[in-house]
Amino acid sequence: MVYEIIIIGAGPAGITAAIYAARKKMNLLVLSKDIGGQTLWTGDIENYTGYQIVTGAELTEKFKEHIDAYKITVNENENVLSVEKAKDSVTVKTDKAQYSSRTVVIASGTTPKELNVPGEKEYKNKGVAYCATCDGPLFAKKRVAVIGGGNSALDAAISLSKIATEVHVVNIADDLTGDVIMQEALKAAKNVTIYNKSSVKSIKGDKFVKAVEIQTPQGVKDIVLEGVFVEIGLVPNSDFIKGVRKNSLGEIEVNCACQTDTAGIFAAGDVTSVPEKQIIVAAGEGAKAALSAFRYVIGYGQKDSA
């Protein structure tokens, strides 16, 4: 079987692309490790149009309901190994099968960056975590650190401040860079300490995390705690595709129509060079990518590319 469109990823971009493709009656397949992507691990979301406040888990459930309504085939727990363009089709190889399609939309999202400091790998899942939404409840009434100063770090710190006894925010920049409203909420929490211009030197422990060693402007300091949440940014999941142009960060470069520099291959969401990594932006980009793929299939835009 040759599909008209294969969508890689089922986060906001991939799900929206699938819905738009289904509405165009395209023969489609979605390949993904999970449904929801980074949204699934997000706490409270206050900037998704139509919801004054919604959790990432709740929004993911709405995503699932929407794709189920269109009876879209989603192959979960299937890892894409390569995407290769031939003359008139694209071959997608996974760890389970091989597929052929007229077009592909890459919406594979991102993976959390690691600190790459001593102790991080040793204590991963033994106190070192990358998702406050999933692992936060395990640290109720304990002392934790959140590494980072952007929106994801602030979201994690705010969530943890409601259940942990102490939250230590270690931020390498001169000041926090997350949204002002989130900064205000964090600074209002009485159990939060913020270390700006500071970085992690090592993570210490025995069987589990016992402390984090940080470099501050005043010198080296050990913070005794039980958990370290790493929230320093994300790496695009783009290694499986080699035939498209990427920027220095590994993000797939696209034009305003979500076209890559290879005809028939489109990309959307956080895996691309689009600067704002927001749920609503990813969803909009997914819609654009599916519409561009549809135009390609029916005979428009075959020669257009980024």
For residue 62, the model assigns a pLDDT of 96
Residue 132: what pLDDT?
A: 87
- Rounded distance, CA 50 to CA 91, Å? 38
Q: Are 276 and 9 spatial neighbours (Cβ–Cβ below 8 Å)?
A: no
Domain ranges of the chain: 2-111+234-297, 114-230
CATH code of the domain made up of 114-230: 3.50.50.60
2-111+234-297 fold: FAD/NAD(P)-binding domain (3.50.50)
Report the C-alpha gap between 34 and 178 in whole angstroms: 27
Q: Looking at the chain, how many residues does it have?
A: 306
pLDDT of residue 305: 54
Contact status, residue 213 vs residue 200, Cβ threshold 8 Å? yes
Contact 106/292 with Cβ under 8 angstroms?
Answer: no
CA dist 129 and 21 (Å) reads 36
pLDDT of residue 306: 54
DSSP assignment of 91-139: EEEESS-EEEEEEEEE---EEE-----TTTTTTBTTTEES-HHHHGGGG
The pLDDT averaged over each successive group of 10 residues in the chain (306 residues) is 97 98 98 91 85 92 96 96 94 97 97 95 94 88 97 94 98 96 96 98 97 98 97 94 95 98 97 93 98 92 51
Q: What is the pLDDT of residue 192?
A: 98
Domains 2-111+234-297 and 114-230 share a fold: yes
pLDDT at 126: 94
* 80 φ/ψ angles, rounded to the nearest 5 degrees: -80, 130
* CA distance readout (Å), 72 to 64, 65, 68, 101: 10, 11, 6, 16
